[in-house]
Every structure is written in structure tokens, then in C-alpha cells.
Amino acid sequence: EEHRRRDPRPLFLSVQTLFPHGPYDVARVPPGEVPAFTFSQDAEINEYMHRVVSSRIEFHRFLSGLKERPGARGTVVLEYGDHQSVATRPHLEQAGELSLSDMHSPAYRTFLSVHAFGAELDARVFDEPMDAGFLSAALVEAAGLPSSPLLRGLSRLRKACGGRYHD
């Protein structure tokens, strides 16, 4: 709120959440916070899923507030996961798709979504898969925010290497 009042520049925040991360041997979601459900016979997978549901509820509450009050210059939010959870490992192993030495393995595929409130956004930048190292530059490009030589260089590199930072 203070930045919006006093500073004409866009506000760029990077927020990491660790709540859905393991270990999953301790229940961290308070009783009644999420609907009761059993996803799996595996207690750790259930704990992971309860944390994901709790995190999604909180995140959508956060987005609702931004939608109601996007600020004079609008707000753009990029959310993404950095890798598959260890709770999904048995499923990847069962499907024969777990290869932690292969950066193209499904173990490293995850999601992203972009939310814009009162701001223009060219989401086509996100049509092609890309490694997490390019996401900040892609968001700045998609939102038409002021850039820097570093971010412009990352955008050029993303295009040149097809979004594969690790290659």
C-alpha cells in the first residue's frame, strides 16, 4: 500500500512459499481449514494434498483482494511450481517416468499461471514451456513493464535456447 501511494514505479515482488514442501510426516494444516478428504492410502501423499489445498485457498483469497483493489497501475501475478513434489515420486516411478538425471523428465515439469488485474498482459510469452530461470524476464516482457539490460538479455537467451535454461 505504501509503495502504491508514494512510488510511481511498478512494484515487483517475488514470494516463495514452502508450506506445501515436505517433510510430510507431520500434519501442518489445522483441522477444519480444508474440506476433509482422503486422496490416497499413503498418509504422506494425503498430507501433501491437504497442504496444496490449503495453499490454494489462501492464494485465491489473496487474488480476490487484488481483483477488488488492483491499484492505479494494475497488478500482475505469476505463480509457478519449481518441481514435482516428493509425494508424486511413487506415481512417476510406477509410470516409469522418474529420471532425476534427465532435466526433461516429468519430475521437473510443473505449472504456471498468470493473473492480471487492471493491467494489460500479453500471455503469449508463456505459450511455450520454459525453465524457471526465465520467468521473471518473461513476466516483465508480457506485462510491458520497464526492463533492464539483464532482463532483456534473459529474454533474448530464452528465445535463442527455446526456454531451456539448463541446456
- Split at pLDDT 50, 70, 90, the class of 36 is confident
N-terminal to C-terminal alpha carbon distance within the chain: 40
User: pLDDT tier at 142 (50, 70, 90 boundaries)?
Assistant: very high
Give the whole-number percent of the chain exceeding pLDDT 70: 96
Is the N-terminal amide bond of 20 cis, ω within 30° of 0?
A: no
pTM: 0.78
Q: Is the pLDDT of residue 106 over 70?
A: yes
Give the Cα separation of 97 and 104 in Å (integer).
Answer: 10
Tell whether the model's pLDDT for residue 10 goes beyond 70.
no
So what's the pLDDT on residue 44? Answer: 86
**How far out from the chain centre does Cα 146 lie?**
22
Asked if the model's pLDDT at residue 137 lies above 80, the reply is: yes
> Around Cβ 57, how many Cβ atoms within 10 Å?
14
pLDDT category of residue 22 using cuts at 50, 70 and 90: confident
**pLDDT of residue 104 exceeding 80:** no
Query: For the segment 149-166, what is each residue's pLDDT rounded down to a tens digit?
Result: 999 999 999 999 999 877
**pLDDT of res. 161:** 93
How many Å is the maximal CA-CA distance in the chain? Answer: 54
